[in-house]
Amino acid sequence: MKIVLNFLRFLLVMLPLMGWSKSGIYEFVDLYPDCVDNESSKIYEPKEWSKELNTPVFPGGGDLEFMRYIYEKVERNYPDVVDSTTKSEDPNVPDKIWRAKGVVQVHITVDRCGKAVNPVVVEGVNEEYDKVALKICDELPIFKPGAINGVRVKVGMIIPFNFKRERLPIKPSWADDGGGYDGGGDSGSDDGGSSDWGGGWGGDPW
């Protein structure tokens, strides 16, 4: 199991470099048109997952596609939350302003129609990051719902959203308006460029 998790972490680190053919366009099929799951029933939380439970499947590629989808959504909705500033010793060089880092963990329930409902932040970072994570959860596509012995069931899941500590390309006051400022040429992360995933669907960080 540890080998598998380490391999998945390696894939996530490589995602920014890999690219993918869908170009951010995802097509999903609603397996149960007009389905409404409004009856109360047991929710199988991560600690209760068993061999008999077929967990929800993200359309288009399962767990790997789910991780890629979340990664892309986070990258497209990154708020500029300042964590700290590194003062420059050269008055002609702007200070380095760093974006805050952290992992937001959100609990969702995938109901018997395959819809992700009731997102709740169970571990937050800051208001802006928490809002982005909840917004992404609200827009999740239809899953193939979980099932036990062929009977559809509600399944609880924990989704981690990783926000990296990167330099913000904030334009300094001395820069002209000619578009020549590029953020100082250092837009990478100060923690080695890591894009490590913050945790697994089961709720416990890797």
Q: Could you tell me if residue 145 is inside a domain?
A: yes
Residues 143 and 139: their CA atoms lie apart, in Å, by 12
**Domain annotation covers residue 144:** yes
Q: Which helix (H) or strand (E) holds 121?
A: strand 116-123
Question: Which range of residues forms the domain containing residue 96?
Answer: 2-29+42-172
Q: What is the predicted pLDDT for the residue at 110?
A: 97
SS3 66: helix
- For residue 127, being part of any structural domain is answered with yes
User: In this structure, is residue 148 part of a structural domain?
Assistant: yes
- Tell me how far apart the alpha carbons of residues 118 and 50 are, in angstroms, rounded to a whole number: 23
Say if 23 falls within a structural domain: yes
Q: pLDDT truncated to tens, each residue of the chain (206 aa)? A: 444 445 444 444 444 434 333 444 445 567 778 889 988 999 999 999 999 999 999 987 788 899 999 999 998 888 877 777 778 787 887 778 777 889 999 999 999 999 999 999 999 999 999 999 999 999 999 999 999 999 999 999 999 999 887 766 655 444 444 444 344 444 455 544 333 333 455 544 33
Residues near 148 by beta carbon (within 8 Å), at least 6 away in sequence: 44, 52, 53, 54
Q: Is 48 helix (H, G, I), strand (E, B) or coil?
A: helix
CA–CA distance, 206 with 190 (Å, rounded to integer): 22
Task: For residue 185, tell me if it sits in a domain.
Answer: no
Whole-angstrom CA distances from 5 to 10, 146, 147, 163, 164 are 9, 22, 24, 20, 20
Q: State pLDDT tens for residues 4-58.
A: 445 444 444 444 434 333 444 445 567 778 889 988 999 999 999 999 999 999 9
Would you say residue 37 lies in a domain? no
198 part of a folded domain: no
Residue 92: other Cβ atoms inside 10 A: 7
Distances (CA, A) of 193 to 74, 87, 104, 190: 16, 21, 19, 7
CA-only gyration radius of the chain, Å:
20
3-state secondary structure of 38: coil
Number of domains in the chain: 1
